[in-house]
Structure 1
Amino acid sequence: MFFVRTAMEKDVEALRGLLIESFHATYDAIYGADKVHQMLDAWHSRKAIEARISRKDGEFLVADNGRQIGGLIFAAMSKDMAKTAFLHHLYVDPKVQRQGIGRDLFAEIETCFPDAEVMRLEVEPQNAAAIAFYQAHGFVEVDRTKNCGGPNSGIEAIVMEKPLT
């Protein structure tokens, strides 16, 4: 059984390992392994993970069973949009998917931003499983972007939102 808790600095290596495995499982068929490796280095370096864990306006949670971290979620208040929490990451280890870990992580992160009225995210248009998960949890498509994850990325994404009020 996995329990949700706050991520800590001692988790960085395990989190990076989970991100590497999850990213390759999810995106290799879409972008190719070389591009996925570049994305991992740019977005999920040890330094980037440490920065997210210590971010004051964010929450980084993990699903932990005492032997492994089975999932992670990170969200933070938007710097550009008032009263909006941005869901940056939700990944579950492919070996333990379909056990409710994503659901439990999401249920907890929703409660972490009392000043937010909306939760927003970007999702790869070909990631049908993620889109279905977010729709089942009340998200709807509100826009599209050609720069997922940051300016000039060239990565297309569906922008989805869910009211938190």
Structure 2
Amino acid sequence: MDCLIRIATSEDATAISRVIIDALRETNAQDYTAAIIEQVEQSFSPEAILRLLTQRQVYVATVDHHVVATASLNKDVVRSVFVDPLYQRQGIGKQLMVMIQSTAASGEVKFLRVPSSISAEGFYASLGFKKVRDEFHGTERTIIMEKGLEQ
């Protein structure tokens, strides 16, 4: 699907929050309990997104000027890759990851890491990421994955 990928702005915070929470509730809820989903949602309010915009390189993908996906890069770590459930499996997440990988490589990052949800492990594996280990935050399982970048 054709989309425009750009750096997120503060005006995108509410839309980014909506995309993330919709994806958590629909997609991630298949692999995590309601309590975990509710806990994770706390980190993605519009106010929290505004803070993240000052700490990371945050990107959005838009279709017809509507934010439908987001991803961010914090040095050598991919963070918060979410696609609106209505737009999943249409290549938008992959397009965002191409942008993230290109940005990381141009910043001389040798290895890119991602703390993956259970729900997204297959997606990252399809992009060449390999599982390094599991991490647990309480009962929330996160899969740490890594990929070497060609310089």
TM, length-normalised to structure 1? 0.81
Cα distance in 2, alignment partners of residues 65 and 35 from structure 1: 30
Aligned identity (percent) is 25
**Structure 1 or 2: more helix by fraction:** 2
Give yes or no for the alignment of 1:124 onto 2:96.
no
- Residues 4-50 of structure 1: CA deviation (Å, up to 9, x unaligned): 00100000111111111001012223333343122201x11222211
Contact 1:9–1:53 (CA under 8 A) maintained in structure 2: yes
Structure 1: which 5+ runs fail to align? 78-84, 148-152
Q: CA 1:86/1:138 → structure 2, altered by over 3 Å: closer, same or farther?
A: same
CA-CA distance at 1:93 after TM superposition: 0.7
**Structure 1 or 2: more strand by fraction:** 2
> Please, what is the CA RMSD of the aligned residues?
1.6
Name the SS of the counterpart of 2:25 in structure 1: helix
Q: Which letter does structure 2 place at the counterpart of 1:18?
A: V
Matched ranges for 1:51-130 at <5 A = 51-55=51-55, 58-77=56-75, 85-113=76-104, 114-125=107-118, 127=119, 130=120
Cα distance in 2, alignment partners of residues 100 and 87 from structure 1: 17
CA-CA distance at 1:142 after TM superposition: 1.2
Contact 1:145–1:158 (CA under 8 A) maintained in structure 2: yes
Q: Number of matched residues?
A: 147
Match of 1:136 in 2: 126
TM, length-normalised to structure 2? 0.88
Give yes or no for the alignment of 1:158 onto 2:143.
yes
CA-CA distance at 1:105 after TM superposition: 0.4
CA-CA distance at 1:69 after TM superposition: 0.9
CA-CA distance at 1:154 after TM superposition: 4.0
User: Which structure is higher in RCO with an 8 Å CA cutoff and minimum separation 6?
Assistant: 2
CA-CA distance at 1:139 after TM superposition: 0.5
Cα distance in 2, alignment partners of residues 7 and 155 from structure 1: 28
Q: CA 1:49/1:145 → structure 2, altered by over 3 Å: closer, same or farther?
A: same
Name the SS of the counterpart of 2:102 in structure 1: coil
